[in-house]
Amino acid sequence: MNTMTVTTEHPKFDAGGFSTDALWLPSSFGGATSKFLSLVLISVAVCLVMGVSSVHAASPFTIIGVPDIENETQDYPVMLQSQVDWIVNNRASQNIAFVAQQGDLTSLPTTDQFSTASNKLFQISSSAPGLPWGVLPGNHDFDRVNYINAFGPSKFAGQSWYGGAYNDSSYQTFAAGGRNYLMIDVEYNPSVSVLDWAQSVITANPGIPTIINTHDYLNSTGGRSSMGDLIFSGALTGNPDGLVYGNSQVFMVLCGHNFSSPWNQTSIDKAGQPVFENLADYQNTNSGDGYLRLYQFDETNSVIHVSTYSPYDATTPYLTDSLNQFDISMDFNARLGVVPEPTILCLLAVGGVALLMRRRKVVG
Ligand SMILES: [Zn+2]
Protein backbone atom coordinates (compact mmCIF):
# COMPACT_ATOMS: atom_id res chain seq x y z
CA MET A 1 0.00 0.00 0.00
CA ASN A 2 1.45 3.33 -1.02
CA THR A 3 0.10 6.02 1.29
CA MET A 4 2.42 8.55 -0.32
CA THR A 5 0.30 8.29 -3.46
CA VAL A 6 -2.61 9.52 -1.44
CA THR A 7 -0.70 12.52 -0.23
CA THR A 8 0.53 13.24 -3.71
CA GLU A 9 -2.91 13.10 -5.20
CA HIS A 10 -4.45 15.14 -2.42
CA PRO A 11 -2.11 17.90 -1.40
CA LYS A 12 -3.16 19.72 1.75
CA PHE A 13 -4.60 23.17 1.57
CA ASP A 14 -4.74 25.77 4.25
CA ALA A 15 -8.11 25.40 5.90
CA GLY A 16 -7.48 27.38 9.03
CA GLY A 17 -5.19 24.81 10.56
CA PHE A 18 -7.27 21.76 9.53
CA SER A 19 -6.17 19.37 6.84
CA THR A 20 -8.52 18.32 4.11
CA ASP A 21 -8.09 14.74 5.27
CA ALA A 22 -9.27 15.69 8.75
CA LEU A 23 -12.33 17.28 7.22
CA TRP A 24 -12.80 14.41 4.76
CA LEU A 25 -12.94 17.01 2.04
CA PRO A 26 -11.50 16.67 -1.45
CA SER A 27 -8.26 18.45 -2.12
CA SER A 28 -9.46 21.68 -3.66
CA PHE A 29 -12.56 23.72 -4.21
CA GLY A 30 -12.14 23.95 -7.94
CA GLY A 31 -13.75 22.04 -10.86
CA ALA A 32 -15.06 18.55 -10.01
CA THR A 33 -14.58 19.18 -6.30
CA SER A 34 -16.92 22.14 -6.32
CA LYS A 35 -19.48 19.98 -8.12
CA PHE A 36 -18.98 17.32 -5.44
CA LEU A 37 -19.58 19.81 -2.65
CA SER A 38 -22.62 21.21 -4.45
CA LEU A 39 -23.99 17.69 -4.78
CA VAL A 40 -23.52 17.02 -1.07
CA LEU A 41 -25.12 20.35 -0.12
CA ILE A 42 -28.08 19.73 -2.43
CA SER A 43 -28.48 16.22 -0.98
CA VAL A 44 -28.45 17.58 2.57
CA ALA A 45 -31.10 20.14 1.56
CA VAL A 46 -33.22 17.33 0.07
CA CYS A 47 -32.85 15.40 3.35
CA LEU A 48 -34.07 18.40 5.35
CA VAL A 49 -37.06 18.85 3.03
CA MET A 50 -37.82 15.14 3.46
CA GLY A 51 -37.73 15.66 7.20
CA VAL A 52 -40.29 18.48 6.95
CA SER A 53 -42.54 16.47 4.64
CA SER A 54 -42.33 13.46 7.00
CA VAL A 55 -44.57 15.46 9.35
CA HIS A 56 -47.32 14.59 6.88
CA ALA A 57 -46.46 10.89 7.15
CA ALA A 58 -47.10 11.13 10.90
CA SER A 59 -50.50 12.78 10.37
CA PRO A 60 -53.25 11.24 12.50
CA PHE A 61 -54.89 8.14 11.09
CA THR A 62 -58.08 6.36 12.08
CA ILE A 63 -59.04 2.77 12.77
CA ILE A 64 -62.79 2.26 12.48
CA GLY A 65 -64.52 -0.18 14.82
CA VAL A 66 -67.79 -1.66 13.54
CA PRO A 67 -69.50 -3.17 16.61
CA ASP A 68 -72.14 -5.90 16.55
CA ILE A 69 -74.34 -5.36 13.49
CA GLU A 70 -76.67 -8.35 13.93
CA ASN A 71 -79.89 -6.34 14.28
CA GLU A 72 -78.93 -3.97 11.46
CA THR A 73 -78.28 -6.92 9.16
CA GLN A 74 -81.55 -8.61 10.08
CA ASP A 75 -83.91 -5.64 10.39
CA TYR A 76 -82.29 -2.39 9.22
CA PRO A 77 -79.68 -2.98 6.51
CA VAL A 78 -79.99 0.71 5.66
CA MET A 79 -78.04 1.42 8.88
CA LEU A 80 -75.22 -0.87 7.83
CA GLN A 81 -75.27 0.73 4.37
CA SER A 82 -74.89 4.19 5.95
CA GLN A 83 -71.85 2.96 7.88
CA VAL A 84 -70.18 1.51 4.79
CA ASP A 85 -70.97 4.62 2.73
CA TRP A 86 -69.51 6.87 5.42
CA ILE A 87 -66.32 4.80 5.63
CA VAL A 88 -65.87 4.89 1.84
CA ASN A 89 -66.64 8.62 1.57
CA ASN A 90 -64.45 9.62 4.52
CA ARG A 91 -61.49 7.36 3.84
CA ALA A 92 -59.31 10.31 2.80
CA SER A 93 -60.60 12.98 5.20
CA GLN A 94 -60.28 10.66 8.23
CA ASN A 95 -57.14 8.98 6.89
CA ILE A 96 -58.77 5.61 7.57
CA ALA A 97 -56.14 2.88 7.85
CA PHE A 98 -58.27 -0.11 8.83
CA VAL A 99 -61.89 -1.17 9.41
CA ALA A 100 -62.36 -3.78 12.16
CA GLN A 101 -65.73 -5.45 12.71
CA GLN A 102 -66.17 -7.14 16.11
CA GLY A 103 -68.46 -10.06 15.16
CA ASP A 104 -72.16 -10.85 15.31
CA LEU A 105 -72.50 -10.09 11.64
CA THR A 106 -75.89 -11.79 11.66
CA SER A 107 -78.71 -12.34 14.12
CA LEU A 108 -79.50 -15.75 12.63
CA PRO A 109 -76.67 -17.32 10.60
CA THR A 110 -78.78 -17.92 7.50
CA THR A 111 -77.52 -17.62 3.95
CA ASP A 112 -79.78 -14.58 3.51
CA GLN A 113 -78.38 -12.70 6.49
CA PHE A 114 -74.78 -13.60 5.65
CA SER A 115 -75.48 -12.46 2.10
CA THR A 116 -76.73 -9.08 3.36
CA ALA A 117 -73.71 -8.57 5.67
CA SER A 118 -71.26 -9.74 3.03
CA ASN A 119 -72.74 -7.64 0.21
CA LYS A 120 -72.58 -4.50 2.35
CA LEU A 121 -69.11 -5.01 3.85
CA PHE A 122 -67.45 -6.05 0.59
CA GLN A 123 -68.44 -2.65 -0.79
CA ILE A 124 -65.45 -1.44 1.27
CA SER A 125 -63.17 -3.32 -1.14
CA SER A 126 -65.08 -2.41 -4.29
CA SER A 127 -65.52 1.28 -3.44
CA ALA A 128 -62.36 1.90 -1.41
CA PRO A 129 -59.83 -0.39 -3.12
CA GLY A 130 -56.85 -1.32 -1.00
CA LEU A 131 -58.44 -0.33 2.32
CA PRO A 132 -57.80 -3.29 4.66
CA TRP A 133 -60.61 -4.64 6.83
CA GLY A 134 -61.39 -7.69 8.91
CA VAL A 135 -64.30 -9.56 10.51
CA LEU A 136 -64.76 -12.55 12.79
CA PRO A 137 -67.69 -14.72 13.80
CA GLY A 138 -69.53 -13.80 17.00
CA ASN A 139 -71.79 -16.21 18.89
CA HIS A 140 -74.65 -15.45 16.46
CA ASP A 141 -72.61 -16.37 13.36
CA PHE A 142 -72.02 -20.06 13.93
CA ASP A 143 -73.06 -21.67 10.74
CA ARG A 144 -69.53 -22.45 9.70
CA VAL A 145 -70.32 -23.16 6.03
CA ASN A 146 -72.27 -19.95 5.68
CA TYR A 147 -69.57 -17.93 7.46
CA ILE A 148 -66.77 -19.30 5.30
CA ASN A 149 -68.81 -18.79 2.13
CA ALA A 150 -69.45 -15.18 3.10
CA PHE A 151 -66.14 -14.15 4.72
CA GLY A 152 -63.66 -17.01 4.24
CA PRO A 153 -60.15 -16.62 2.78
CA SER A 154 -61.26 -17.14 -0.84
CA LYS A 155 -63.37 -13.97 -0.59
CA PHE A 156 -60.17 -11.99 0.12
CA ALA A 157 -58.06 -13.58 -2.61
CA GLY A 158 -55.79 -11.03 -4.25
CA GLN A 159 -55.88 -8.56 -1.34
CA SER A 160 -52.24 -7.92 -0.47
CA TRP A 161 -53.14 -6.95 3.10
CA TYR A 162 -54.90 -10.24 3.86
CA GLY A 163 -52.43 -12.34 5.82
CA GLY A 164 -54.20 -15.66 6.18
CA ALA A 165 -56.76 -17.59 8.20
CA TYR A 166 -57.11 -20.52 10.56
CA ASN A 167 -60.47 -22.06 11.39
CA ASP A 168 -62.76 -18.95 11.44
CA SER A 169 -60.04 -16.51 12.53
CA SER A 170 -57.81 -14.45 10.25
CA TYR A 171 -55.21 -11.70 10.23
CA GLN A 172 -54.35 -8.64 8.19
CA THR A 173 -51.46 -6.21 7.92
CA PHE A 174 -51.55 -2.49 7.35
CA ALA A 175 -49.18 0.48 7.36
CA ALA A 176 -50.06 3.81 8.97
CA GLY A 177 -48.14 6.74 10.43
CA GLY A 178 -44.79 5.29 9.39
CA ARG A 179 -45.36 1.94 11.12
CA ASN A 180 -46.53 -1.49 10.06
CA TYR A 181 -49.34 -3.01 12.11
CA LEU A 182 -50.85 -6.43 12.58
CA MET A 183 -54.60 -7.04 13.17
CA ILE A 184 -55.58 -10.52 14.38
CA ASP A 185 -59.31 -11.30 14.29
CA VAL A 186 -59.98 -14.00 16.90
CA GLU A 187 -63.30 -15.85 16.58
CA TYR A 188 -65.82 -16.23 19.42
CA ASN A 189 -65.02 -19.08 21.82
CA PRO A 190 -61.57 -19.78 20.36
CA SER A 191 -60.03 -23.18 20.93
CA VAL A 192 -56.48 -23.38 22.21
CA SER A 193 -55.42 -24.38 18.68
CA VAL A 194 -56.89 -21.10 17.36
CA LEU A 195 -54.98 -19.13 19.99
CA ASP A 196 -51.85 -21.17 19.21
CA TRP A 197 -52.27 -20.11 15.58
CA ALA A 198 -52.64 -16.45 16.63
CA GLN A 199 -49.43 -16.84 18.65
CA SER A 200 -47.68 -18.26 15.58
CA VAL A 201 -48.68 -15.18 13.59
CA ILE A 202 -47.14 -12.95 16.26
CA THR A 203 -44.04 -15.12 16.48
CA ALA A 204 -43.61 -14.80 12.71
CA ASN A 205 -43.94 -11.00 12.95
CA PRO A 206 -41.82 -10.08 15.98
CA GLY A 207 -42.10 -6.54 17.25
CA ILE A 208 -44.87 -5.49 14.88
CA PRO A 209 -47.47 -3.48 16.84
CA THR A 210 -50.50 -5.75 17.10
CA ILE A 211 -54.22 -5.30 17.78
CA ILE A 212 -56.43 -8.23 18.78
CA ASN A 213 -59.95 -7.86 17.37
CA THR A 214 -62.47 -10.24 18.93
CA HIS A 215 -66.07 -10.63 20.10
CA ASP A 216 -66.40 -11.54 23.79
CA TYR A 217 -63.56 -10.18 25.91
CA LEU A 218 -64.64 -7.41 28.34
CA ASN A 219 -67.70 -7.22 30.58
CA SER A 220 -69.93 -4.14 30.46
CA THR A 221 -69.18 -3.49 34.13
CA GLY A 222 -65.44 -3.83 33.69
CA GLY A 223 -63.01 -6.68 33.86
CA ARG A 224 -62.66 -9.50 31.39
CA SER A 225 -65.13 -12.29 30.72
CA SER A 226 -63.92 -15.87 31.12
CA MET A 227 -63.33 -15.92 27.36
CA GLY A 228 -61.44 -12.64 27.71
CA ASP A 229 -59.22 -14.17 30.38
CA LEU A 230 -58.49 -17.11 28.08
CA ILE A 231 -57.47 -14.77 25.25
CA PHE A 232 -55.53 -12.52 27.63
CA SER A 233 -53.42 -15.05 29.46
CA GLY A 234 -54.48 -18.61 28.66
CA ALA A 235 -51.37 -20.80 28.37
CA LEU A 236 -50.42 -21.59 24.78
CA THR A 237 -48.13 -24.17 23.24
CA GLY A 238 -45.76 -21.44 22.05
CA ASN A 239 -46.25 -19.05 24.96
CA PRO A 240 -47.19 -20.08 28.52
CA ASP A 241 -48.03 -16.46 29.37
CA GLY A 242 -50.82 -16.16 26.80
CA LEU A 243 -51.63 -14.17 23.70
CA VAL A 244 -52.00 -10.68 25.18
CA TYR A 245 -50.20 -10.84 28.54
CA GLY A 246 -47.26 -12.71 27.03
CA ASN A 247 -46.70 -10.61 23.89
CA SER A 248 -45.70 -7.01 24.59
CA GLN A 249 -46.26 -6.09 20.92
CA VAL A 250 -50.02 -6.51 21.55
CA PHE A 251 -51.00 -3.01 22.68
CA MET A 252 -54.76 -2.95 22.03
CA VAL A 253 -57.82 -5.21 22.11
CA LEU A 254 -61.18 -4.37 20.48
CA CYS A 255 -64.33 -6.30 21.39
CA GLY A 256 -68.14 -6.25 21.41
CA HIS A 257 -70.86 -8.73 22.49
CA ASN A 258 -71.81 -7.18 25.85
CA PHE A 259 -74.26 -4.36 25.14
CA SER A 260 -75.44 -2.91 28.42
CA SER A 261 -72.58 -0.42 28.46
CA PRO A 262 -69.35 0.34 26.62
CA TRP A 263 -66.21 -0.09 28.66
CA ASN A 264 -62.54 0.66 28.37
CA GLN A 265 -59.67 -0.25 30.63
CA THR A 266 -55.91 -0.53 30.61
CA SER A 267 -54.28 -3.80 31.59
CA ILE A 268 -50.58 -4.33 32.16
CA ASP A 269 -48.79 -7.13 30.34
CA LYS A 270 -45.90 -9.29 31.53
CA ALA A 271 -43.37 -6.75 30.29
CA GLY A 272 -45.09 -4.01 32.32
CA GLN A 273 -46.52 -2.38 29.18
CA PRO A 274 -50.09 -1.04 28.92
CA VAL A 275 -52.72 -2.85 26.85
CA PHE A 276 -55.72 -0.70 25.89
CA GLU A 277 -58.90 -2.81 25.98
CA ASN A 278 -62.11 -1.43 24.45
CA LEU A 279 -65.68 -2.76 24.48
CA ALA A 280 -68.34 -1.19 22.27
CA ASP A 281 -71.71 -2.70 21.26
CA TYR A 282 -74.79 -0.69 20.29
CA GLN A 283 -77.05 -3.57 19.22
CA ASN A 284 -79.74 -2.51 21.71
CA THR A 285 -79.47 1.21 20.92
CA ASN A 286 -82.13 1.45 18.21
CA SER A 287 -80.83 -1.88 16.80
CA GLY A 288 -77.34 -0.49 16.34
CA ASP A 289 -78.37 2.88 14.93
CA GLY A 290 -75.32 3.01 12.67
CA TYR A 291 -72.85 3.76 15.46
CA LEU A 292 -69.18 3.32 14.63
CA ARG A 293 -66.12 3.60 16.82
CA LEU A 294 -63.41 5.99 15.61
CA TYR A 295 -59.93 5.38 17.04
CA GLN A 296 -57.83 8.31 15.86
CA PHE A 297 -54.11 7.68 16.35
CA ASP A 298 -52.52 11.10 16.94
CA GLU A 299 -48.82 10.41 17.31
CA THR A 300 -47.79 14.07 17.46
CA ASN A 301 -49.87 14.58 20.61
CA SER A 302 -49.19 11.09 22.08
CA VAL A 303 -52.87 10.20 22.21
CA ILE A 304 -55.54 7.96 20.68
CA HIS A 305 -58.78 9.94 20.45
CA VAL A 306 -61.79 7.64 20.77
CA SER A 307 -65.20 8.80 19.56
CA THR A 308 -68.54 7.19 18.72
CA TYR A 309 -70.32 8.39 15.60
CA SER A 310 -73.38 7.42 13.59
CA PRO A 311 -73.80 8.56 10.00
CA TYR A 312 -77.38 7.26 10.27
CA ASP A 313 -78.68 9.07 13.35
CA ALA A 314 -79.02 12.73 12.34
CA THR A 315 -80.40 13.68 15.77
CA THR A 316 -77.57 12.24 17.85
CA PRO A 317 -74.64 11.67 15.51
CA TYR A 318 -72.10 11.64 18.37
CA LEU A 319 -72.32 9.88 21.73
CA THR A 320 -70.27 12.20 23.89
CA ASP A 321 -70.43 10.69 27.38
CA SER A 322 -67.15 9.61 28.94
CA LEU A 323 -67.62 5.93 28.05
CA ASN A 324 -68.12 6.74 24.38
CA GLN A 325 -65.73 9.63 23.90
CA PHE A 326 -62.35 9.66 25.63
CA ASP A 327 -58.62 9.88 25.06
CA ILE A 328 -56.04 7.16 25.54
CA SER A 329 -52.60 8.57 26.32
CA MET A 330 -49.82 6.71 24.57
CA ASP A 331 -46.22 7.64 23.86
CA PHE A 332 -46.07 5.93 20.46
CA ASN A 333 -42.28 5.58 20.38
CA ALA A 334 -42.11 4.22 23.93
CA ARG A 335 -44.96 1.75 23.42
CA LEU A 336 -44.59 0.71 19.77
CA GLY A 337 -40.90 1.30 19.09
CA VAL A 338 -39.05 4.16 17.46
CA VAL A 339 -39.49 4.81 13.77
CA PRO A 340 -36.18 6.09 12.34
CA GLU A 341 -36.48 9.70 11.21
CA PRO A 342 -36.29 10.03 7.40
CA THR A 343 -33.94 13.01 7.80
CA ILE A 344 -31.43 11.03 9.83
CA LEU A 345 -31.58 8.04 7.46
CA CYS A 346 -31.12 10.36 4.50
CA LEU A 347 -28.16 12.20 6.07
CA LEU A 348 -26.52 8.88 6.90
CA ALA A 349 -26.97 7.80 3.27
CA VAL A 350 -25.50 11.06 1.95
CA GLY A 351 -22.58 10.76 4.36
CA GLY A 352 -21.98 7.17 3.28
CA VAL A 353 -21.98 8.05 -0.40
CA ALA A 354 -19.64 11.00 0.21
CA LEU A 355 -17.21 8.75 2.07
CA LEU A 356 -17.34 6.16 -0.70
CA MET A 357 -16.67 8.83 -3.33
CA ARG A 358 -13.81 10.19 -1.26
CA ARG A 359 -12.34 6.71 -0.72
CA ARG A 360 -12.71 5.83 -4.37
CA LYS A 361 -10.82 8.98 -5.28
CA VAL A 362 -8.10 8.25 -2.68
CA VAL A 363 -7.61 4.64 -3.69
CA GLY A 364 -7.98 5.29 -7.39
ZN1 LIG B 1 -72.50 -11.59 20.76
pLDDT given at position 47: 63
d(CA 188, CA 226): 12
Report the separation in Å between the CA atom of 247 and the middle of ligand 1, taken as the mean of its atom positions. Answer: 26
- Specify the pTM: 0.82
pLDDT given at position 7: 35
d(CA 346, CA 342): 6
Which strands, in side-by-side order, build the sheet including 210-214? 162-166, 169-176, 179-186, 210-214, 250-255, 274-279, 263-268
pLDDT given at position 351: 74
Report the separation in Å between the CA atom of 285 and the middle of ligand 1, taken as the mean of its atom positions. Answer: 15
Among candidates 281, 287, 290, 282, which has minimal Cα distance to 312? 290
Report the separation in Å between the CA atom of 221 and the middle of ligand 1, taken as the mean of its atom positions. Answer: 16
Report the separation in Å between the CA atom of 136 and the middle of ligand 1, taken as the mean of its atom positions. Answer: 11
Report the separation in Å between the CA atom of 307 and the middle of ligand 1, taken as the mean of its atom positions. Answer: 22
Report the separation in Å between the CA atom of 139 and the middle of ligand 1, taken as the mean of its atom positions. Answer: 5
Mean predicted confidence (pLDDT) in 327-353: 83
Q: Indicate whether 235 pLDDT > 60.
A: yes
Report the separation in Å between the CA atom of 141 and the middle of ligand 1, taken as the mean of its atom positions. Answer: 9
Beta-carbon count within 10 A of 172 CB: 24
Ion ligand 1: residues, Cβ under 5 Å: 104, 138-139, 257
Report the separation in Å between the CA atom of 125 and the middle of ligand 1, taken as the mean of its atom positions. Answer: 25
Report the separation in Å between the CA atom of 216 and the middle of ligand 1, taken as the mean of its atom positions. Answer: 7
Residues 260-300: pLDDT tens digits?
999 999 999 999 999 999 999 999 999 999 999 999 999 99
DSSP 321: S
Q: How confident is the model at residue 19 (pLDDT cuts 50, 70, 90)?
A: very low
pLDDT given at position 332: 96
Report the separation in Å between the CA atom of 70 and the middle of ligand 1, taken as the mean of its atom positions. Answer: 9
Contact 28, 13 (CB under 8 A): yes
Task: For the chain, give the mean pLDDT.
Answer: 88
Ranges 46-55, 79-88, 167-176, 228-237: which has the least confidence:
46-55
Report the separation in Å between the CA atom of 312 and the middle of ligand 1, taken as the mean of its atom positions. Answer: 22
Encoded amino acid at 221, one letter: T
Report the separation in Å between the CA atom of 342 and the middle of ligand 1, taken as the mean of its atom positions. Answer: 44
Q: Indicate whether 194 pLDDT > 70.
A: yes
d(CA 364, CA 351): 20
Residues 106-124: pLDDT tens digits?
999 999 999 999 999 999 9
Report the separation in Å between the CA atom of 140 and the middle of ligand 1, taken as the mean of its atom positions. Answer: 6
Contact 43, 350 (CB under 8 A): yes
Q: Which fold has domain 57-330?
A: Purple Acid Phosphatase; chain A, domain 2 (3.60.21)
Q: How confident is the model at residue 133 (pLDDT cuts 50, 70, 90)?
A: very high
Report the separation in Å between the CA atom of 229 and the middle of ligand 1, taken as the mean of its atom positions. Answer: 17
